[in-house]
Every structure is written in C-alpha cells, then in structure tokens.
A and B are shown apart, each in its own frame.
Chain A
C-alpha cells in the first residue's frame, strides 16, 4: 500500500496523542489483516474454480458437487500448505537445507 504512505505525508501526525497513535496502529493492523485474508480468498477461489468447475456454465450458482468440491478444495489446500511447512521444518531439523 504505497498510496497510504504517500498521503500520510500530507497529514499532521504530531497532533495525535500516544493513545491515538496506538489506536491508529491497531486500526491499520486490522485493515492489513482484512486485506491479507481477502487476498487469500481471491487466490483460493482462483485455484478451486479451476479444480471444481470443470463443466460448461449452465447456471449462476454452484451445484451440490461443485459446492462440496470447493469446500474440500479450500481445506485440502490449507492442509497441503501446513504439510509443506511441516516438512520444511523437518528438513531443517535434519540439516537437509
């Protein structure tokens, strides 16, 4: 978010109290986390659409198979992500990396 830092220079933060600064920081962190989650949802939808919507488009909703495929897709992708991290950790423990 480089635009936020650009506009931050236009604002006078010296008037803020320490409490307000902490509050602002907390708010910013919340927004960043929200943005990160949304980013992940975009990424997952991209992947799971390719995996689960394999037929032609005949309706504007997911059918039951596609729906449960998508749900499984999200869960398994995150499992896989955890498995990768876990295995990397093991490899590091063995001095493999």
Chain B
C-alpha cells in the first residue's frame, strides 16, 4: 500500500495523517468484509449446483442478491445503532458483542 505511505509523508501534520490513514484502512477493511460475506451468501443462494460457467440466470440472481444483502446490512445497522442508543439512554451500558 504505497499510496498510503505517500499520503502520510506528504502531510505535514502527523495527527491528521494518522487519522486519515486509519479511516482509509477501516473503510477498506469494511468493504472487504462486506464483499466476502456477500460473495459467500449469494454463492450459496444463486449457485446451488455449479456448472461449467456462470449462467445468465445465476448472474442476474447475483445482482439481486448483492442488492438484497446490502439492504439487509443497512437494516441491521439501523436496528443495532438504535439499540445502542436506547440502551445508553436508559443508563444500561451493558451492551457488548
């Protein structure tokens, strides 16, 4: 990841640079994680018996499945964050995963 090291040394403020790098890394990590899980789940759903190539039907299924997985991700995210907010508002800080 040379581009990151470049952006690090280019910035004169080490504080901003390190935060920016960590944010970038977290974003990459997040995307990778999503792609990984999406691929696993959608493969399971859309390719029950693998043929010699991906069929048109399987490809279409993948597209829909990806959109569906992302909307599931968003639903979970909304619900989880509202739960955290509720439990911290109620003085019950005992959530944890």
Taking beta carbons and an 8 Å cutoff, which residues of A are in contact with B? 1, 3-4, 7-8, 10-13, 15-16, 20, 23-24, 27-28, 31, 34-46, 48-50, 52-53, 56-62, 66-67, 70-71, 74-75, 78, 81-82, 85
Contact = CB atoms under 8 A, between A and B. Distances in A.
Interface in B60-82: 61, 63-69, 71-73, 75-77, 79-81
Interface of B: 1, 4-5, 8-9, 14-15, 17-19, 21-23, 25-26, 29-30, 33-34, 37, 41-42, 45-46, 61, 63-69, 71-73, 75-77, 79-81, 83-84, 94-97
B68 A48 contact: no
Contacts, number: 135
Nearest to A50: B41
Contacts of A40: 80, 97
22 contacts: A4-B18, A4-B22, A7-B18, A10-B5, A10-B8, A11-B8, A11-B18, A24-B19, A28-B19, A31-B26, A34-B26, A35-B29, A37-B81, A38-B26, A41-B73, A43-B97, A46-B37, A49-B72, A60-B63, A60-B67, A60-B68, A70-B72
A9 to B, nearest CB: 11
Nearest to A43: B97
Nearest to A72: B79
A3 B25 contact: yes
A35 B95 CA distance: 16
Contacts of A24: 15, 18-19
Contacts of B61: 56-57
A78 B68 contact: no
